[in-house]
Structure 1
Amino acid sequence: MIRLYHNPRCSKSREALALLQDAGADVEVIEYLKHPPSAAELDHILTLMQLDPRDLLRTKEEEYETLCLDDITLERDKLIEAMVDNPNLIERPIAVSTDMAVLGRPPEKVLSLLDR
């Protein structure tokens, strides 16, 4: 099963979902703006992706500036906490399998989870 952190208003997210469904994948869709991941879940996803939280931050969102998230001294847990509290800061779509996670940019990247 692939878990897709999805925003139905985002064209890239819709495209990633369609690609997975067309490929016959079993997809659990999580509308992360309504049901944000916990800090532990987001930390796990980042670990699977081998990324720093900053790599998944949407820097053009208003909260990015108001929360001063460009402060390079902010630690990982504080960045994750900001993302959980303000899920619109999380870049999307994110597809997660048991042992791998990818950012669907471009959307075709989510198909790499099917090759495992």
Structure 2
Amino acid sequence: MTDFPITIFHNPGCGTSRNVLAMIREAGHEPSVVEYLKRPWTRQQLAELMAQGHVTPRDWLRVRGTPAEELGLTAPDVSDDAILDAMVAHPILVERPIVATPKGVALCRPKERVLDLL
């Protein structure tokens, strides 16, 4: 079992997210699993995760299979605040999976990125 807290912000409909969850468990850890489509982000929570991961909202913006383009979020002049607000309103806009451990916070794409956090 885990000797430190691990949280995965998970979408069970995503193959990469399922694979990362399996990798965490195969490494002997039992993470806290947050299905962010069922329990949406708060703005503060998402902003803090991004700060800890040293990324911007644009870095974690998921375009494929989301309304990002329809909402105008892919335009180069869209502010980080506008993207963050849209992510809170439409959780599907956040790329996944995001894993948080005491070693850091990262978007685990490719899935092997999770190994740096374990």
Normalised to the residue count of structure 1, the TM-score between the two structures is 0.90
Structure 2 letter corresponding to 1:43:
A
Distance 1:39 1:5, change over 3 A: same
CA offsets, 1:40-67, max 9 Å, x none? Answer: 1110111111111111111223411221
| Aligned equivalents of 1:9, 1:44: Cα separation in 2 | 25
Normalised to the residue count of structure 2, the TM-score between the two structures is 0.88
Match of 1:58 in 2: 62
- Once the two structures are aligned, what percentage of the paired residues are identical? 39
| Aligned equivalents of 2:75, 2:102: Cα separation in 1 | 33
| Aligned equivalents of 2:65, 2:56: Cα separation in 1 | 18
1 or 2, which has the higher helix percentage?
1
Match of 2:115 in 1: 111
Name the Cα RMSD after superposition. 1.4
Query: Which sections of structure 1, spanning at least 5 residues, go unmatched?
Result: none
Divergent runs of 4+, >6 A = none
Structure 2 letter corresponding to 1:93:
P
Task: Map residues 1-116 of structure 1 onto 2, 5 A cutoff.
Answer: 1-98=5-102, 100-114=104-118
